[in-house]
Amino acid sequence: MYLSHFGLQEAPFGLTPNTGFYYGLPPHEEALQVLNWALAQGEGFIKVTGEVGTGKTLLCRKLLTELGSEQRPVRLAWLPNPHLTPAELRTALALDLGLSVHDGSELDLTDRIHRHLIALHQQGQRVVVLIDEAQALPDETLEAIRLFGNLETESSKLLQIVLFGQPELDARLAKPHLRQLRQRIGFSYCLRALRFDEARAYVEHRLHVSGYRGAALFDSRALRLLWRAARGVPRLINVLAQKCLMLAYGRGERRIGSRLVRLAIRDTDDASHLSFIRWWPLLLLLGGALVYGVWS
């Protein structure tokens, strides 16, 4: 559609987390440094939180790629579905570790997982479990995760668990009945929204990866307006930028200005609508105060 119009080879602002578009933004690089350092130290529990759309799933997939390419053997288990009962958690973990799941008691499966973890440890392999959308895990499953985190030798953990979740995860872990899990989390990182210079570099990077080689596609005022409306959230930046490209293509325009960004904002429910209508009551009050000051 608009790809040939802008000389693009692929859509630059898709919503699917794609590590091919990963850009080392400061918040994401800092989070990766914390994760890699904590995992190297043998920490049992690590937590990464961030608002919706700040890049937690992309970060999770990037970590999976990095750990999978390490020379030292690492066994990885990724649980993207948080709606698991404790029994389903055990089954998913067993399958990711390469164990066959057959009829038997939950105690038997837990014991086989434990023995397999010990065998992997003796072979010099680390086992890392990444859990996405952890804020949606049921309480009883969080407790099961805590118990798995207790599996250890005299000197090290048999299982390292990384929880990725929205800020609601922090609120849940603050509750008294989950304090045992909260106290076991050795390192935490909270992803922040992007600053303007980071958002500009992010947009330019995705366009470059997609094959764009022309002059700056978004003028500076338009890009700042887009950043404000997206509140620095990468997913919203993608949504608005994608709509801007479609609008520009539909109008036969080669550059994106503030007018197109405003149209994209108006069409996006979660964008911050920075319109004059929202400000006119305040402006009237200020105007009235100024008039009163002049005449008093």
List pLDDT tens digits, range 130-151: 999 999 999 999 999 999 888 8
In this predicted structure, what is the pLDDT of residue 278? 45
The fold of 26-191 is Rossmann fold (3.40.50)
Q: 3-11+194-277 with 26-191: one CATH topology?
A: no
C-alpha span between 82 and 91 (Å, rounded): 13
pLDDT at 112 over 70: yes
Give the best-scoring range by mean pLDDT among 47-51, 89-93, 108-112, 289-293: 47-51
Q: 206-227 pLDDT, tens per residue?
A: 999 999 998 999 999 999 999 9
- Is residue 185 helix, strand or coil? strand
Span 86-94, average pLDDT: 91
The per-residue pLDDT for 280 is: 40
> What's the confidence (pLDDT) of residue 284?
44
Q: Which CATH entry fits the domain spanning 3-11+194-277: 1.10.3470, 1.10.8, 1.10.1220, 1.20.120?
A: 1.10.8
Mean pLDDT of the chain: 88
The arithmetic mean of pLDDT across residues 144-173, rounded, is: 90
pLDDT of residue 72: 65
The pLDDT of residue 161 is: 95
Q: What pTM does this model have?
A: 0.86
- Give the CA distances from residue 236 to residues 13, 167, 181, 241, in Å, rounded to whole numbers and listed in that order: 10, 18, 33, 8
pLDDT at 81: 87
- Cβ 97 vs Cβ 151: under 8 Å: no
Which pLDDT does position 272 carry in this prediction? Answer: 79
| Domain regions of the chain by residue span | 3-11+194-277, 26-191
pLDDT at residue 86 above 50?
yes
Instruction: Flag whether pLDDT at 282 surpasses 50.
Output: no
Q: How confident is the model at residue 273 (pLDDT cuts 50, 70, 90)?
A: low
**For position 296, what pLDDT does the model report?**
47
Give start and end residues of each alpha helix (H) in the chain.
Answer: 3-6, 26-40, 56-68, 86-96, 106-122, 139-149, 168-173, 179-184, 196-209, 220-230, 234-251, 258-266, 276-295
pLDDT greater than 70 at residue 294: no
